[in-house]
Amino acid sequence: MRKVIVTCAVTGGIHTPSMSPHLPVTPEEIASSAIEAARAGATIVHLHARDPESGRPTQEPDVYSRFLPVIADRCDAIINITTGGSPVLTLEERLAPALNFQPEIASLNMGSMNFAFYEMLQRFTCFDHAWEEPYVRGSDDYIFRNTFRDIAYILESCSAQGTRFEVECYDIGHLYSAAHFADRGLLKPPFFIQSVFGIRGGIGVHPEDVAMMRRTADRLFGEDYVWSVLGAGRHQMPIATMSAAMGGNVRVGLEDSLWGEPGRLAKSNAEQVERIITVLHGLSLEVATPQDARALLQLKGASETRIAA
């Protein structure tokens, strides 16, 4: 029976604390939510940090140090640290946690792009913190920067410490960029390709978009890659289901979608993990354990990181 890697993105840089009372913000909340997701069956937990007072996205290693060791001590899920964080952070800020903690895997956006989420203001209009509304409204002028030079710098910096990458591809061109870095020898197989659907500025959510991303990745990477998807917002579960049916892996979590069912906020990351695992079992698929994923992705192992207390 085929085993599917389930990634849970616990908290990210797009949604603000006022959008959901269930979004983990403090180090204690992030640790608890990640551990619950792992116990629900998540293979990998993908992690961002938040300023514990304001909830603003932060890449300060000191904040990460308050929840990473707790997660590592209380579950065996693979810890994945972002090198993204927020469109308003510098490259040095975004990269600091991965360099400091040397995780088994880190995320890497495969290009610069418009990255807009101002349409959330059609649904969310009341905010608790002064930074939130301008942050969301101003996203019509945001560019997430990752030039070829930036990407090469991240690859060279993290690869030297044995960290591998969740290669986040928001459009077809990002797949070709990944192939370019593979040709340069900076990105090494097996490639963990995370196709991202539904972000304004990236590829859409039509089934043909999903199929085209898969066909292109198959042509570019052949047998040298592991495919996964994430769908933003209400598209999370439908696109994850498509991926599972097409032989791929899945990502869920409150970073990507705040929703449980139509019109109802998810109460936890674990709830979303449980929902997608129900789908996987309905497709006669098993969930990959962290040990399964470490072998498939050729990760260095938790003992080779600098996360443990």
- Band (pLDDT 50/70/90 cuts) for residue 11 is very high
- Residue 96 located in a structural domain: yes
Residue-number span of the structural domain to which 69 is assigned: 3-297
Provide the pairing of β-strand 57-58 with 49-50. Answer: antiparallel
Query: Is the confidence at residue 87, as pLDDT, over 90?
Result: no
- Band (pLDDT 50/70/90 cuts) for residue 309 is low
Would you tell me how many other CB atoms lie within 10 Å of the CB of residue 262?
6
For residue range 23-71, list pLDDT tens digits in order.
999 999 999 999 999 999 999 999 999 999 999 999 999 999 999 999 9
Question: For 140-157, what is the mean pLDDT?
Answer: 96
- Residue 218 located in a structural domain: yes
**Alpha-carbon gap, residue 136 to 122, rounded angstroms:** 11
Burial 201-216 (b: 16+ CB within 10 A, else e): bbbebeeebbeebbeb
Question: For 128-145, what is the mean pLDDT?
Answer: 95
Query: Is the confidence at residue 138, as pLDDT, over 70?
Result: yes
- Residue 26 located in a structural domain: yes
Residue 176: strand, helix, or coil: helix
Question: For 160-169, what is the mean pLDDT?
Answer: 96
For the chain, percent of residues with pLDDT exceeding 70:
100
Strands (E), 224-307: 225-231, 249-252, 259-261, 264-265, 286-287
**Alpha-carbon gap, residue 276 to 251, rounded angstroms:** 9
- Residue 145 located in a structural domain: yes
Consecutive H or E run containing 113? strand 113-114
- Residue 303 located in a structural domain: no
Q: What is the CATH number of the domain that holds 148?
A: 3.20.20.70
Query: Is the confidence at residue 255, as pLDDT, over 80?
Result: yes
Residue 119 CB-half CA count within 13 A:
8
- Residue 132 located in a structural domain: yes
Q: For the chain, how many structural domains are there in total?
A: 1
Against a cut of 0.95, is the pTM above it?
yes
- Residue 307 located in a structural domain: no
- Residue 302 located in a structural domain: no
